[in-house]
Chains A and B, each alone.
Chain A
Amino acid sequence: MFKKINNALNPSLRHPEQERASRINKVGAIILLAILYVFLFVLDNFLPAGSFTGMLIPVLRKGAIYALLCVSMNLLNGFTGLFSLGQAGFMLIGGYAYAILSIPASQHAAVYQYFDGGAIQFSIPEFFSSFLGAGLGSFVGSIICIIIAGVIAALFAALIGIPVLRLKSDYLAIATLGFAEIIRAIFQWNGFGIITNGSNLLRKYTALSDIRWDIGSVSLKFGTVFVFLIVTICILLIVLLINSSYGRAFNAVRDDEISAEAMGINLFKHKMMSFIISSFFAGVGGALLAMYQTTIQSAAFTSAMTYEILLMVVIGGIGSVSGSGIAAFLYIAANEWWLRFLDSGSIGSIEVSFFRGGFRKVIFSIAIMIIVLFFSRGIMGDKELSITGVINWFKNRKERKLAKKINASKEGE
C-alpha cells in the first residue's frame, strides 16, 4: 500500500512500471482533488444547513488547518529530526499578524477600545476591496495577509533559531517550548496593547465567511474551498521540498548528524532552513485558524496546543506527510464530532448518567494511549499513501495471507 517517499529515481532511471504508477498517481491525485473541490463548493453553498453539514463544515475546515500544522511540524520533527515544541508560538504570531493586518479601519475603535483604537490604522483586505470589490478584495487581501503572517513567523524563527538550534534534542525542545510561552506572555502584555490589544481578543477581521463572490443577488461562499486551497498549496510545497535535494539533506541530518556533516552538509544551515520553513507554515496555519475562529486571543495558544499537534503527528506516523493529514482529520473529527455524544448525557434517547461534561476527554485519552502504546509507528509509519499503493495492497492481500500461512507453518516446524 505504501511507497517510500524518497524514491529518488529520475524518469530515465525508472522501471517502466514505476513510470506508469507515478503517472497514475499524479493524474489520479488531480482528479480526486478536483472532485473534492467540487464537493466542498457544493457543501459550502447548496447542501441544506442541518446538524450534519453543521458539523461537517467546521470539522473539514479545522481538520485541513491542522493537517497543515501537522505537516509543518513533521517537516521539522519527523524529516529533519529536530524535536521542537514551539509550534503554538509561531501559530500565535501568524494568527495575530493576520488579524492585526486585516481588521477594517472603521472597526479599530471598537476592537482596540482600551487602547484608543490601536496603532495600526489600515487593513490590507480593505485596501484591495476598494478597487476589486468586497469579495475578491477580501480574497486577495487575506491571501497577502496570510503570506505576511507566515513571513513574520519565519523571521521570528530565524531570530531564535540562531541560539536555539545549536542545542541538542531535549534542550531544543525545552528552549522552543519556553519561547512559545514567552511569546504568549508578550502578546498578552498590555504594554504592547496598541498593537496586540493586550489580553483582549481581536475580532472583526476578515474571516472565512468574507471569502465569497456576490453576483447580483446571489452570494457564493468559498470558506471551505479557500481553506483547502491554501492548505493544498502549502502541503504541495512541503512535499516538493521533501523530495528535493534539500529534503534528502534534512533526512541525512536526522539519520546521522556526524556523517551528514562529514559528507559536506552544513548542519546549522540546513537545520535553520527547516526550522524557518516549518515556522512559516505554522504561521500560515495560525492565520487560517484565526480566520476559522473569527476571534483570536493569545491565551488560547498554550503548549497543550503544540502537544495536540505532536500527538496527531505521532498517530499519523513520524516522517509521513499523508499520515499527518489523515491523523489530523481523524483526530479533529473524533474530538469535535464523533465523540461529542459522550458529553451529552445520553445515547439517542437512553439516559446514561456518566455521559456528561468531560467524559469524552477520558475516553479520548484512553483511545490515544492505546494507539500510541500499540501502534507506536503510527498509521503510516514513514510511508506515503498513493493510489497505486492502495490498489496493489488490495491486489496483494491474498498473496500476503498465503505468505503468512507459510511463515506460520515454518515456525511450527
Chain B
Amino acid sequence: MNEDIVLHVENVTMQFGGVVAVNNLSLDVPKGKIIALIGPNGAGKTTAFNCITGVYEPTNGLITFNGEPIVRNHPVGAMKKTYAGLNADRYTSKFVLPKEFDESDDAYEKRKEALKEIDKYAFTDTQLAPTADKITNCGIARTFQNIRLWKSMTVFDNVLTAKHMRAKQNLFSATFRTSIAEENRMKEETVQLLEEQNLFRFKDDLATSLPYGLQRRLEIARALATNPTLLLLDEPAAGMTPQETVELCEFIKEIRNKYNLSVFLIEHHMDLVMQISDYIYVIDFGSEIAQGVPKDIQTNQAVINAYLGADNE
C-alpha cells in the first residue's frame, strides 16, 4: 500500500432504506494534496463525508487513515442478508462473494490476501464503527455545509472548546485550576488561530453574529484547533462573496503548507475547485462518474452531462 496515501476509501456504500446515497465509492487522498469531491446537488458528497467522519456507519466498505482502518463494515454475516436482499447485483463489492464466484479462483485469492494486508478483519464479521470523536482524535477534522457553530458561545470560546479534546487535564485538575498552565496554553493557541484568520477582533462576539463568510472561516479555525492532519471542508465557499472566495483559495493553500495538511473538499464553486485542486473526483447519484486532474475534468463529457442534466431539471 502506498505510504503517501493519507485517506483511503474503498467500496463505501451508504444506503438509507431504499435510497443509495453513496454507491461503491473508492478514492484516495495523498499526503499534502488538495483533493476535491464534486457533483450535482444530492449526489451524495456530504454523505460521503459523514461516512468518513463517523456520523454515519456505512452499509459497506472500508476507510483507512494513514494505513489504519478507521471505519469498516463488511456485508458478511447478518449484514450480508439485508444487503443481498436489495438488488444485490448493484453492489459489486469486492468484499462480497458473488453467487457464482469460484472460491478456488486465483484472482479471488490474490484479492483476498491484498485486502487482508490492509485490514486483517476483512472477510470477518467484525465491524468497526467508531464514534465521530474518535475519528477526530485520529487527526481528521471537518467543517459543515450548514454551518454548525456553537451558537451560544463567543468566537473565542468556539475555537477554545475545540481544543478540549487534546488538553492534558482531567475533571479535577480543570475544576480546581491546577492545570491552569495547560488552560493558558490552549488560550494562547486560540489567539494565534484567530489572528491568523483575522477574527481576533471579533473574539468576544457571539459566533452566530458574524457574517456568513466569517462564520465559515471560524469553522475552519475551529477544525484546525483539533490539530488535524487531514482537513475535510464541506462547501467552504458557499455564501461567500467573490472577493472572500479568492482569499479563501489562498488561505486554504496557506494553512495546508503551514500545518502540513492534506485537504479534501466539497465545492460547487467551479473556479475555486479548478484552481485549487490537485485531483478531482466527480460523483452523481452516489456513484463515481469521473476522476482526474482539473483540466481533464473540465472537458469530461460525463461530467458536463451530469451538471447540465442537473441544471435542466
Contact = CB atoms under 8 A, between A and B. Distances in A.
A65 interface: no
B183 A10 contact: yes
Nearest to B191: A13
A368 interface: no
Interface string B94-115: 0000000000000000000000
B137 interface: yes
A382 interface: yes
Interface string B55-98: 10000000000000000000000000000000000000000000
B273 interface: no
Given A244-B174, A259-B144, A262-B132, A252 B137 contact: no
Given A264-B165, A267-B131, A10 B226 contact: no
B152 A248 contact: no
Contact of B161 (A4, A248, A262, A266): A248
B171 interface: yes
A234 to B, nearest CB: 12
Interface residues of B, number: 45
A56 B163 CA distance: 47
A259 B150 contact: yes
A9 B167 contact: no
A260 B136 CA distance: 11
Contacts of B166: 264
Contacts of A248: 153, 157, 160-161, 164
A289 B187 CA distance: 41
A266 B133 contact: yes
Contact of A245 (B134, B149, B174, B225): B174
B120 interface: no
B297 interface: no
Contact of A249 (B164, B177, B184, B204): B164
A308 interface: no
A241 B175 contact: yes
B279 interface: no
A12 B226 CA distance: 23
A350 interface: no
A246 B174 contact: yes
Interface string A252-276: 1011101111111111100001000
Residue of A12, A237, A256 most packed against chain B (CB within 10 A): A256
A8 B175 contact: no
Nearest to A269: B133
A6 interface: yes
Contacts of A267: 131, 133
A49 interface: no
Nearest to A241: B175
Interface of A is mostly: helix
Residue of B154, B162, B184 most packed against chain A (CB within 10 A): B162
A6 B166 CA distance: 20
A10 B187 contact: yes
Nearest to A253: B150
Given A245-B169, A245-B183, A256-B150, A262 B55 contact: yes
Contacts of A264: 133, 136-137, 162, 164-166, 226
Contacts of B133: 261-267
Residue of A12, A249, A251, A264 most packed against chain B (CB within 10 A): A264
A245 B186 contact: yes
Contacts of A255: 150-153
A263 B156 contact: no
Contacts of B174: 241, 244-246
A9 B190 CA distance: 10
Contacts of A244: 174-175, 177, 183
Contact of B136 (A7, A256, A263): A263
B16 interface: no
Contacts of B223: 263
Nearest to B173: A244
Interface string B167-211: 101010011110000011011000100000000000110000000
A263 B154 CA distance: 16
A251 B160 CA distance: 12
Contacts of A241: 171, 174-175
A261 B154 contact: no
Nearest to B55: A258
A256 B144 CA distance: 12
Residue of B134, B136, B152 most packed against chain A (CB within 10 A): B152
B148 interface: yes
Contacts of B149: 256, 259
Interface in B123-161: 131-134, 136-137, 141-142, 144, 148-154, 156-157, 160-161
A8 B150 contact: no
Contacts of A252: 150, 153, 161, 164
B222 interface: yes
Contacts of B177: 240, 244
A103 to B, nearest CB: 33
Contacts of A265: 133, 161, 164-165
Given A261-B133, A264-B162, A265-B133, A273 B171 contact: yes
A259 B161 CA distance: 11
Contacts of B156: 8-9
A4 B162 contact: no
Nearest to A6: B157
A262 B175 contact: no
Contacts of B137: 264
A244 B132 CA distance: 23
B13 interface: no
B164 A261 contact: no
A263 B162 contact: yes
Interface string B209-238: 000000000000011011000000000000
List the 5 closest pairs (A to B, CB-CB), nearest first. A264-B165, A259-B148, A255-B150, A264-B136, A244-B174
Given A240-B177, A263-B222, 19 more contacts: A9-B156, A10-B187, A12-B184, A241-B171, A241-B174, A244-B174, A244-B175, A245-B163, A245-B183, A248-B157, A249-B161, A252-B164, A255-B151, A255-B153, A258-B132, A259-B148, A262-B144, A263-B223, A267-B133
Interface of B: 53, 55, 131-134, 136-137, 141-142, 144, 148-154, 156-157, 160-167, 169, 171, 174-177, 183-184, 186-187, 191, 203-204, 222-223, 225-226
9 contacts: A8-B187, A9-B203, A244-B174, A245-B163, A245-B164, A256-B148, A263-B133, A263-B164, A273-B171
